[in-house]
Structure 1
Amino acid sequence: MTELLECRDCGHRTFYEKHRCPECGGAEFDGVAAGSGELLSVTTVHVTPDGVREPNALGLAAFPGGANVVAQLDEALSIGDDVRLVGERELRVTEDRPLRGVRLAAVE
């Protein structure tokens, strides 16, 4: 399961690595289970960089603790759906797959 980062000082959560907490300025974070979030918005990108699928469906989801995550959608999801994070935090290139990173999937 992909984790969120939680500030040790104030508990604010983020998915994206930061040097400082955007809420309190704290500099130490712990990994915590993301749990489920709510899909807030969806869009489709039709012009993408080399190696990235086209069209590329993306979603914005809100997770507990204030974390908002933009990630790829691998299935048809609608605003308001419960979602979870799957996949790797980092994008990477392999010979047999395009660039991939974390994705949003329906809660099972």
Structure 2
Amino acid sequence: MTRVLECPDCGRRTFYEKRRCLDCGADGLRPRDSGVGIVQAVTAVHVTPDGVSAPNRLGLASFDGDASIIARLEDGLEAGDSVVLETPDGAGSPPRLVPAETDRDRETPTSSGKQ
């Protein structure tokens, strides 16, 4: 699972490396698991640079603590779906939003299928 940075003072989270919290200015942001997010919007880019397949589906997903990210979206995902952010190990491979699993007994997302 992807890590986010969390402010020790106000709890705001960000996916991007920061020295200080964007909300309160506190130092010492701590790494945390990003958890499960919700796809807020979906778009497709039809004119792409070399090496990027078209259409390139992108999704805006929001996570706990006000962290949001735009990333490649796995086929079949739509607005309202539960997702996790997957970051490949290989250099040059962009992160992507993939389905979050659902524990059917508890009806809560865990980390890879729809809610």
Deviation at 1:31, TM superposition (A): 1.0
SS at match of 1:31: strand
Match for residue 100 of structure 2?
Answer: 107
Q: Which runs of 5+ in 1 are unaligned?
A: 94-99
* C-alpha RMSD of matched pairs (Å): 1.8
What's the offset of the Cα at 1:53? 2.2
Give me the identity figure in percent: 49
* 1:14-37: CA deviation from partner (whole Å, max 9, x where unpaired): 112223321111232111011101
8 A contact 2:36–2:100 mirrored in 1? yes
* Residues 21-60 of structure 1 mapped to structure 2, 5 A cutoff: 21-60=21-60
In 1, Cα distance between the equivalents of 2:51 and 2:28? Answer: 34
| Structure 2: segments with no counterpart, 5+ residues | 102-115
Aligned residues: 101
Displaced runs of 4+ in structure 1, greater than 4 A? none
Residues 49, 28 of structure 1: alpha-carbon distance in 2 compared, 3 angstrom cutoff: farther
State the alpha-carbon separation in 2 of the partners of residues 88 and 11 from structure 1.
27
How many angstroms apart in 2 are the aligned matches of 1:88 and 1:28? 26
Higher relative contact order (CA 8 A, sep 6+): 1
TM-score by length of 2: 0.78
